[in-house]
Amino acid sequence: MEVERVQEIANFSKETIPEEFIRTTYEQPALTTVQGTVLEVPVIDLSDPDEEKVVRAIVDASSNWGMFQVVNHGIPHETVRKLKEVGKAFFELPPQEKEAYAKSPGSQSIEGYGTKLQREVEGKKAWVDHLFHKIWPPSEINYQFWPKNPPSYRKNNEEYAKHMHGVVDKLFRCLSLGLGLEGNEMKEAMGGDNMVYLLKINYYPQCPQADLALGVPAHTDMSAITILVPNDVQGLQACKDDHWYDVEYIPNALIVHIGDQIEIVSNGKYKSVLHRAKVNKEKTRISWPVFVEPPSDLEVGPHPKLVNEANPPKFKSKKYSQYCFCKLNKTPQ
Ligand code: OGA
Ligand code: NI
């Protein structure tokens, strides 16, 4: 079966795009975005020595937006630049070289190169191709899905994974303290050092009818948290109080999303953010989210210290794999 990659479709769609990519007016970004900088996703300086201040800022952002950007986060800018360089180079390889990493149609695993084949409700498709592979822990890595070309792909990705731990630990510590827990309790509830880092590269080719399409439709991430770096083409949007806002591109910042598992562990105090991605008429947009997830067989539920008679659990406890299964198959949680 010939698989249609969006990158190929973009090559011959110079003025118009196929009908299945055209969104209803309820979704079209040009019609549904708040114009002007009315409100913005908070920007937090992680190097501020006043930890209480950082905790307050993270609690505020995680309760009100479910998303924030962090600057001075400790990952060297050069490490991020090199991660982006090799990811972009992979997508610029000829189609047949990329297809060597294609996710096989019947595979249970999400890893590999691909394009979402299943259409969404209303029969629409997203303007994006992707590559998924785990980058941590080493025992979970399947190198068959890591491109061999460019040759520095592996080294640059390993370098990024290594530097992520500092940010992840800091974020979990602040999220934990912000709920009145001990600094390590939130991370422990998510699997501690067994947490899995799943990297995705989103490749959104330029799109002649960008106002009518979406790169990723509105969703919340299933992960605990997601840490994303984009290229310099703005496109990410966050939903707050039923309105869509552009998330500003800030060079060298990391964009942190609160995912469903943190919402559950916090018993709803922190909100998993509804977000989507636009595409661009002139430029290719690329983004590198890392989904920081509990191990698949870990049971996740509201933290016992956060529930009592006055605050009953708002979510069921279940294995992370079970949560993902229900969400992907759209069955009730
Ligand atoms: C995702 C996602 C947003 C972006 O892949 O889950 O939300 O900016 N991507 O690419
Ligand atoms: Ni997402």
Q: Whose CA is nearest to atom 3 of ligand 1?
A: 277
Q: Would 91 be classed as within a structural domain?
A: yes
Q: Would 315 be classed as within a structural domain?
A: no
Distance 16 CA to ligand 2 centre (A): 27
pLDDT in tens, 130-145: 999 999 999 999 999 9
Residues contacting ligand 1 via CB (< 6 Å): 200, 202, 216, 221, 228, 230, 235-236, 275, 277, 287, 289
Ligand 1 atom with the shortest distance to the CA of 287: 10
Q: Give the ligand with the smallest distance to the CA of 198.
A: 1
Question: Containing H/E element for 9?
Answer: helix 6-12
Distance 287 CA to ligand 1 centre (A): 7
Q: Are strands 43-45 and 67-71 parallel, antiparallel or unpaired?
A: parallel
CA dist 121 and 104 (Å) reads 24
- Pocket perturbation via mutation, ligand 1, pick of 132, 214, 226, 228 by most ligand atoms within 8 A of CB: 228
Query: pLDDT in tens for each of the 333 residues of the chain?
Result: 455 899 999 998 889 999 999 999 999 998 889 988 778 999 999 999 999 999 999 999 999 999 999 999 999 999 999 999 999 999 999 999 999 999 987 888 899 999 986 667 678 899 999 999 999 999 999 999 999 999 999 999 999 999 999 999 999 999 999 999 999 999 999 999 999 999 999 999 999 999 999 999 999 999 999 999 999 999 999 999 999 999 999 999 999 999 999 999 999 999 999 999 999 999 999 999 999 999 999 999 999 999 999 999 999 999 999 999 999 888 889
Q: Would 57 be classed as within a structural domain?
A: yes
Q: Would 266 be classed as within a structural domain?
A: yes
Burial call 244-261: b when 16+ CB within 10 Å, e when fewer:
bbbbebeeebbbbbbbbb
Q: What is the DSSP letter of 284?
A: -
Domain coverage including residue 233: 4-292
3-class secondary structure per residue, 153-221: HHHHHHHHHHHHHHHHHHHHHHHHHCCCCCCCHHHHHCCHHHCEEEEEEEEECCCCCHHHCCCEEEECC
Q: What is the CATH number of the domain that holds 155?
A: 2.60.120.330
Q: Would 197 be classed as within a structural domain?
A: yes
- Pocket perturbation via mutation, ligand 1, pick of 116, 236, 324, 327 by most ligand atoms within 8 A of CB: 236
Q: Would 53 be classed as within a structural domain?
A: yes
CA dist 228 and 254 (Å) reads 6
Q: What is the domain count for the chain? A: 1
Q: Would 178 be classed as within a structural domain?
A: yes
Ligand 1 atom with the shortest distance to the CA of 257: 7
Q: Would 298 be classed as within a structural domain?
A: no
170 CA to centre of own chain = 18
Ligand 1 atom with the shortest distance to the CA of 255: 8
